[in-house]
Structure 1
């Protein structure tokens, strides 16, 4: 099992810190960089919605040709970001890549100042490649040596060398795709049905991990503590109580991602009239609901949309009226308390708001329910629950953490 540690920072700049190794049969601790890009917070809603459109309309997803997504708006939400430093080639060039559960491809060269460099271990496959999800990429596929650090090396890993990007901004060089392998279907020009081995595939096939499992722990921002991403298993020091698993939904298109079925209630009010399908996604900051479900949530809370932040908002003296928001997934209920439903108060002004209001982290997906992609449980959901993406067994798991019911905000 490979453990990657992540530090969530309170600044716009971020820096990497190693997290103590968790005792496992095999463990390697690598630094990840995480933080807030304060300059991007003002567009957090629009960026999340653009990403949702890109994921819903992704061409070729699951082998089906779909409409190309609009890339006129940045589809990568770098307001909240988690990155890993990766060495590629021999000698290695260093790249800062965003972790993305919504893509299976790994891309470099999005930052034109740090393009892909061909070295002695590079092999041009002669195939062009495309990617949608975290922005749009097009370029050439190489296989190359990919070094995650501390001797954790994957040989002949598929790398997309970008020569054109759209909807991808920030001081990042590309993405490290850690989503399901099927998301790579049709990303090469030779065949719409071909798939590309992901980084997780490479780790398993080369004996670095036993199963294709990712365990993610993201602490709430206000707790100012470190989190971790575990490749190959879970880290039981980060969750309390048992893990509860549900199968990946068979509903399309959510089932092509780490999709689940859930019903939602706010206090005693039903937000969804029954089970709906959507995805759990580390690359989305907020919790997005289909427009009719979002409207039901707004009416239940009494919140109205703020013109500056585009978020639902209430005067802070009405905060005491916020009721629990419940996600019923499988036979378990995962509940967000009042503080878990609002944006960190200390960042209200950075968001474009003010200190006299609270701002909700539940946003509008932009389309009505019934599409087979009716919600995204993003970072603001995952920061309250340990989350397991288990591709080997086609399931997603959740567990409570010591921060699930935290009142810090």
Structure 2
């Protein structure tokens, strides 16, 4: 973790003066989260939002890999799917987007900041552009409350101006902390929530786990959870398999890994070991265009022009996808490949049609981002983002093989 001496000194001083650390030995700090699907414009618009997001992430990742700290816009608020968490900041409570593709935590897009008596104005300008929106403001230090009673001292942005957040209050950034470099004039690295939990003795590891129960709902119900500091034994079965972050740019600048994907009992190759993103802010599962063509042929699926999704006559002919990550094979069942039929009409599709969640990333293999494992993938597996060891872990859950669609 890198940061400027001035900001780090301010945070450490504030921590000593203001914080009352709670030492958590092995148990995680938990925070309920809910998914919200942006249905505006149907699945065609959802796909366009997803693609705009990871295309901008790709551009910014390439820029950072050559030490160019240009603040390239990254869509986050107008994507198809978002996680929402209720977080206390200062004397207020805020509904924040949980995003592993960005790292700044900030508020003020909807509700104003209500300082607590512990509030410190750092005087540091801060701002992030997300393509279709963004904010500019000033960095503050105050208490941030996770769950019912865990408080830490956190540096966060307070927006003076913001656009595009449609009633939401801001972002809880869980990406790698060096993504914050471009948000301040001096290219400071601002410690994330996971950084500060360790610095203040609340947790022992800069780690966050994400779990969700597969659902047919468009969102709003808290059926997911974030686990800070340690994996939650109740959220997965078997062992967690860890794999190092990829070294291939631009995926290496985010939470990126290498993986292999095959289809069916014959293990038809779709993607050889290659790099891509693991991203809470992307809705569908995207694969490189040549892999997508092989998948379409293997499933006998037809591209539906209205929705932009593949469609099949019957799920009975579908077979599982298999992801090899860290030397272990994970099964993504036929049912997991189906868009929830209860949401067909909401997203502009036919009520009784069977649509698939695998889609075309738009570029051939070898681009540096050959897949994006989005929400539809992550809701089937427990996922651990481990900053201390620069690795991501995956495990099966009690719901991995469920038929819910």
Q: Give the TM-score normalised by structure 2.
A: 0.84
> 1:131, 1:187 within 8 Å by CA — same for their partners in 2?
yes
CA deviation profile, 1:47-105 (whole Å, cap 9, x unmatched): 1111112211227535732776567xx6435543321222223xx12221011111111
Structure 1 residues 331 and 311: CA distance shift in structure 2, 3 A: same
Give the drift of 1:41. 4.7
Aligned equivalent of 1:353 = 349
Larger relative contact order, structure 1 or 2 (CA cutoff 8 Å, min sep 6)? 2
Q: Which residue of 2 aligns with 1:55?
A: 57
2:174 corresponding residue in structure 1: 178
Deviations 1:356-405 (A, max 9, x none): 32111112223332221221101111111111111111111111112111
- For 2:195, what is the secondary structure of its paired residue? helix
Is residue 126 from structure 1 mapped to residue 123 from structure 2 by the alignment? yes
Greater shift after overlay, 136-145 or 304-313?
Answer: 136-145
Specify whether residues 405 and 187 from structure 1 end up closer, same or farther in structure 2 by C-alpha distance, changes over 3 A only: same
Task: Mark the runs of 5 or more structure 1 residues left unpaired by the alignment.
Answer: 1-22
State how 1:22-41 maps to structure 2 within 5 Å.
26=27, 29-39=30-40, 41=42
Unaligned ranges ≥5, structure 2: 1-23
1:219 aligned residue: 213
Instruction: Tell me the SS of whatever aligns to 2:298.
Output: helix
**1:282 matched to 2:280:** yes
Q: Does 1:154 align with 2:156?
A: no
CA 365–250 in structure 1, closer or farther in 2 if over 3 Å, else same: same
Determine the C-alpha separation between the residues in 2 that align with 1:40 and 1:109.
27
Partner Cα distance (1:327, 1:163) in 2: 44
**1:4-403 map, 5 Å:** 26=27, 29-39=30-40, 41-42=42-43, 43-58=45-60, 61=64, 64-65=67-68, 69=72, 75-77=76-78, 79-89=80-90, 92-111=91-110, 114-117=111-114, 120-132=117-129, 136-145=133-142, 146-155=144-153, 157-165=154-162, 168-191=164-187, 194-222=188-216, 226-267=223-264, 268=266, 269-272=268-271, 274-315=272-313, 318-403=314-399
Contact 1:142 1:158 in 2 (8 A): yes
Calculate the aligned-residue CA RMSD, in Å.
Answer: 2.7
Distance 2:197 2:185 in 1: 25
TM-superposed deviation, 1:294: 2.1
Cross-structure match for 2:9: none
3-state secondary structure, aligned to 1:233 = coil
